[in-house]
């Protein structure tokens, strides 16, 4: 598997080889563009694609052949839609994982209690979820994770162990911080795109067409359309013999 370390070693070897060629054979310097552009492209790909395991190991699905799937929500808690999602999940007796943003917890502590009391899992999705979060230092990421962890701990007395990086972007500093704090990084293999697409039908068909044993679905508990898609997804799962299980059961990990 190509990761950051291997890609960096290859880049330096290529540059060293080209330097020798320039020195001995006076080749054109434009040749350096090949390793530079390909290294840059790999960095962008590795950062943006959580499934690539480029900087850090991420768990995105299970390889089980059993018809089990897990549902996850990012960006809550949300006063309106987290509650609605909880109501739908009770109706279908389905567990889910809520990756919460620390700054959204303030004033919604009861909702955190409610999620936990209903048997769902709570994971860390940083404190600020800032658009510029990927430029943070290791300490910056540790602060983001610790602040949210302390907030959740104060409410439910459980120390979160699962972390989902905002936007699914990973960086070397994020990797170091999550390793230092002993988090498991949880990705997904079905991205609903429920925050970018307006069509409930398109989102539903995108999700259910990809459902297979071991799948981890990414939703956001931030809009009415996601609640509708959630219902359709749970109907599809029930009609097709898929059992919705907790992320702990599906991935055989501990959440706290």
Please, what is the minimum distance in Å from the beta carbon of residue 65 to Zn ion?
A: 30
How far is the C-alpha of 160 from the C-alpha of 158, rounded, in Å? 6
Per-residue b or e along 55-65, where b marks 16 or more CB atoms closer than 10 Å to that residue's CB: bbebbbbbebe
- Which of 75, 125, 220, 221 does the annotation list as catalytic? 220
Nearer to Zn ion, 100 or 237 (CB): 100
Contact between 166 and Zn ion by CB under 5 A: the answer reads: yes
Please, what is the minimum distance in Å from the beta carbon of residue 103 to Zn ion?
A: 12
Catalytic residue flag (residue 198): no
Nearer to Zn ion, 75 or 221 (CB): 75
Contact 101, 131 (CB under 8 A): no
> In 10 A of CB 248, how many CB atoms?
17
Give the residue at shortest CB distance from Zn ion: 74
Closest CA to 130 of 91, 162, 104, 98: 104
Please, what is the minimum distance in Å from the beta carbon of residue 220 to Zn ion?
A: 7
Closest CA to 190 of 62, 93, 95, 88: 62
How far is the C-alpha of 101 from the C-alpha of 119, rounded, in Å? 19
> Which of helix, strand or coil describes residue 170?
coil
Contact 228, 200 (CB under 8 A): yes
Span from 14-22, 159-167, 191-199, 203-211 in contact with Zn ion (CB under 5 A): 159-167
Query: 223 CB contacts (<8 Å, ≥6 apart)?
Result: 81, 194, 195
Structure tokens at 121: 């899992």
Contact between 144 and Zn ion by CB under 5 A: the answer reads: no
Contact 95, 223 (CB under 8 A): no
Nearer to Zn ion, 177 or 237 (CB): 177
Please, what is the minimum distance in Å from the beta carbon of residue 165 to Zn ion?
A: 8
Nearer to Zn ion, 67 or 191 (CB): 191
Nearer to Zn ion, 124 or 246 (CB): 124
Span from 30-38, 54-62, 158-166, 230-238 in contact with Zn ion (CB under 5 A): 158-166
Nearer to Zn ion, 95 or 166 (CB): 166
Task: Print the binding letters for residues 40-79 with Zn ion: x by CB under 5 A, - otherwise.
Answer: ----------------------------------xx----
- Which of 74, 75, 194, 221 does the annotation list as catalytic? 74
Catalytic residue flag (residue 194): no
- Burial class from Cβ neighbours inside 10 Å (0-12, 13-18, 19+) for residue 26 reads exposed
Please, what is the minimum distance in Å from the beta carbon of residue 230 to Zn ion?
A: 17
Structure tokens at 17: 């080889």
Contact between 187 and Zn ion by CB under 5 A: the answer reads: no
**Residues contributing to the site for Zn ion (CB under 5 A):** 74-75, 166
Which residues does the annotation mark as catalytic? Answer: 74, 220
């Amino acid at each position: 598997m190509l990761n950051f370390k291997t890609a960096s070693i290859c880049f330096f070897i290529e540059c060293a080889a080209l330097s020798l060629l320039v020195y001995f054979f006076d080749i054109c310097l434009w040749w350096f563009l090949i390793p530079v552009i390909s290294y840059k492209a790999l960095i962008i790909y590795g950062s943006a694609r959580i499934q690539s395991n480029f900087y850090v190991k991420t768990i995105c699905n299970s390889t089980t052949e059993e018809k089990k799937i897990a549902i996850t929500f990012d960006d809550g808690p949300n006063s309106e839609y987290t509650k609605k999602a909880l109501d739908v999940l009770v109706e279908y007796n389905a567990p889910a994982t809520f990756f919460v943003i620390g700054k959204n917890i303030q004033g919604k502590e009861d909702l955190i209690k409610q999620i936990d009391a209903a048997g769902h899992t709570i994971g860390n999705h940083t404190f600020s979820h800032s658009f510029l979060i990927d430029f943070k230092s290791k300490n910056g990421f540790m602060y983001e994770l610790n602040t949210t962890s302390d907030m959740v701990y104060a409410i439910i007395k459980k120390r979160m162990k699962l972390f989902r990086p905002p936007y699914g972007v990973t960086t070397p500093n994020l990797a170091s911080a999550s390793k230092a704090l002993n988090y498991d990084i949880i990705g997904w293999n079905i991205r609903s795109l429920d925050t970018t697409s307006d069509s409930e039908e398109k989102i539903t068909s995108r999700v259910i067409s990809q459902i297979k044993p071991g799948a981890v679905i990414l939703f956001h508990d931030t809009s009415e359309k996601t609640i509708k898609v959630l219902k359709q997804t749970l109907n599809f799962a029930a009609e097709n013999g898929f059992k919705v299980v907790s992320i702990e059961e599906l991935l055989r990990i501990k959440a706290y």
